[in-house]
Amino acid sequence: MRLSVIAVGTRMPAWVREAVEEYCKRLPREIAPRWCEIPPAKRGREYAQQRASLTEGEQVLKAIPSGDRVIALEVGGRRMNTESLAQKLQDWQLSANNYSLLIGGPDGLSEACRARAEWCWSLSDLTLPHPLVRVILAEQLYRAWTITVNHPYHRA
């Protein structure tokens, strides 16, 4: 299984890069996600928000490796607890498929990205800043993996 995270946004603060790197280096090589950053589209009076979202969406779709199954991270998506994520992670590993997780930009994911996704996953009902989503995602993937190998990190 190959796991990719495709996220709109570049130049993350150092604390975000460091936290994501820390959780990813704790994961075994076969689970550690590969990160792909998509530059955000220009926004302003001349460049409408909807057009920016479409442009970002096109770039995200191009970055998805061929044949990957796609999960969109969306505030309106399906919520799951950590134990359910651990089961999902095990299922992904056993399926021998590759997966891409999509994180949108300031205006979220385009409709085309949501349409390409098998399902939408919500990390929280709260609206989270996009840099923080990266950290939460990396930590939750690590936490889910620790459950699958009976590591003591997760305490339910």
Which residues are part of a known binding site for S-adenosyl-L-methionine? 73, 104, 123-128
Beta-strand runs (E) in the chain: 3-8, 34-38, 69-79, 99-103, 119-122
**Cα within 13 Å of Cα(144), Cβ side:** 23
Which burial class, exposed, middle or buried, applies to 146 when counting CB atoms under 10 A from its CB (0-12, 13-18, 19+)? Answer: middle
- Which segments are annotated as binding site? 73, 104, 123-128
Q: End-to-end CA distance of the chain, in Å?
A: 27
**Cα within 13 Å of Cα(13), Cβ side:** 10
